[in-house]
Amino acid sequence: MLDFTTFWCFRLNALSRKISRMYNNRCLEHGVTAAQSFVIFDVMDHPGTSVKDIATRIQLDSPAITGLIDRLVKEDLVERKEDPEDRRSLKIYLTEKGQELAEKNLVPMALEFNKYIRQLVEPQISQIFQHSLDLIDKQLNKNSN
């Protein structure tokens, strides 16, 4: 009998969903979804960025990012501004409310959650685990090009 539950692709997917649900629930306490928090973090690190660049860094497609930004604009957490060099292009910025939410709530929550997840791995193998994740990511990126 085939025990698919031992397949790494199954295990990684199942673990990813568990972690995502937990993180999303923490984000919802602050009025945003996990995906929206990643957009906020990206814009925080890259003020005046484009939807396309956010999509590349977050690894979602541009239409998905546009929907996330639409909802963040409605909540007055981000704003779109015309690019002075190309009026057809829009740049994304955090609003004052978005910056405050990120700094006071989202960043501390995300750092605490990341610390919690990292503590689930035994300290003596955490560097090996990180290295393994990096190798898998590198190989998958190489194979997808």
* φ, ψ at 100 (rounded to 5°): -65, -45
Answer for the pair 58, 37: CB distance below 8 angstroms, yes or no: no
Considering the domain boundaries, does residue 59 fall inside one? yes
Range of the domain at 43: 21-144
Considering the domain boundaries, does residue 14 fall inside one? no
Considering the domain boundaries, does residue 47 fall inside one? yes
pTM: 0.90
Kindly report, residue by residue over 39-91, the tens digit of the pLDDT. Answer: 999 999 999 999 999 999 999 999 999 999 999 999 999 999 988 887 788 99
Spatial separation of the C-alpha atoms in residues 33 and 25, rounded to whole Å: 8
3-class state of residue 69 by DSSP: helix
Considering the domain boundaries, does residue 7 fall inside one? no
* φ, ψ at 33 (rounded to 5°): -90, 170
Considering the domain boundaries, does residue 86 fall inside one? yes
